[in-house]
Amino acid sequence: MSSCIIKKNILIEGKTKKVYNTDNPFEVIIHHTDNITALDGLKKSFIQDKGVLNNEITTLIFQFLNSCNIKTHFIRKINNREQLCHKVDMIPLEFVVRNIVSGSMSQRLGIKEGINLYDPIFEIFYKNDKLKDPLINDYHAVFLKIVSHEELNTIYNITSQINIFIKKYFFDKNIILVDFKIEFGKNYKNEIVLSDEISPDTCRFWDKRTMKKLDKDLFRRGFKEKEEVFDIYIEILKRLNVS
């Protein structure tokens, strides 16, 4: 299947992924590397074959979301590290959804980690390395001319649906979705579509029975060695593969 796609020049090199042009101007190849970063890129490392696991995990989740009629950039996985995706113009915002208090929300507001949020909380972070991706609100995003209020409404609607779908998807696999970050792009028709990835790098997962952490927090907080973090990502993939 992959033999007919011609991989061309590199378009973007991010912290954990590379994006390549293809012979089709409307499609790109996304390549998952083994890099792992945290704390706005301050903490960097490399976990052998993590890119293979993230490519597989994000493929399963995007296939699931496509099947739920959520518009995403994902077309198909083409090999163990790469996927073919619709080309989009990325919107430089990170949308965080919180179902349980953790991470920066817990620190910023001095609230204990683990409190259930019956109404999920949505946050926007402005993707800007120099400014260290600050937390902003709708008015800032509109003032910065990144999106309009109407586009934000659309994004909040899609984000809310995504949260409902994947929260249940993970719960059925004995995983609690504590919080996650997603990003959107605009395709050639100017439609807003879910892009980037959803993986243990971008979500907080806790085990449903033990509440043990099953994600990048183990690396971020220095609780585990790299090898153990790899094993946790394998555990997530195993659970997702059980139907």
Work out the number of other CB atoms within 10 angstroms of the CB of residue 191. Answer: 12
Is 182 a binding residue for ligand UDP by CB under 6 A? The answer is no
- Which residue, 87 or 213, is less far from ligand UDP as judged by CB? 213
Is 206 a binding residue for ligand UDP by CB under 6 A? The answer is no
Using left for φ > 0, alpha for ψ between -120 and 50, and beta otherwise, residue 69 falls in left
Tokens of 187: 């395709």
Is 137 a binding residue for ligand UDP by CB under 6 A? The answer is no
Is 99 a binding residue for ligand UDP by CB under 6 A? The answer is no
Are the C-beta atoms of 204 and 119 separated by less than 8 Å? no
Bridge partners (DSSP) listed for residue 132? none
One of 180, 206, 230, 233 touching ligand UDP (CB under 6 A):
180
- Which residue, 133 or 138, is less far from ligand UDP as judged by CB? 133
Is 213 a binding residue for ligand UDP by CB under 6 A? The answer is no
Number of residues engaging ligand UDP in binding (CB under 6 A): 13
Least distance CB 111 / ligand UDP (angstroms):
12
CA angle 77, 79, 82 (to 5 degrees): 65
Are the C-beta atoms of 206 and 175 separated by less than 8 Å? yes
Q: Which residues of this chain interact with ligand UDP, rule CB under 6 A?
A: 96, 102-105, 133, 179-181, 202-204, 216
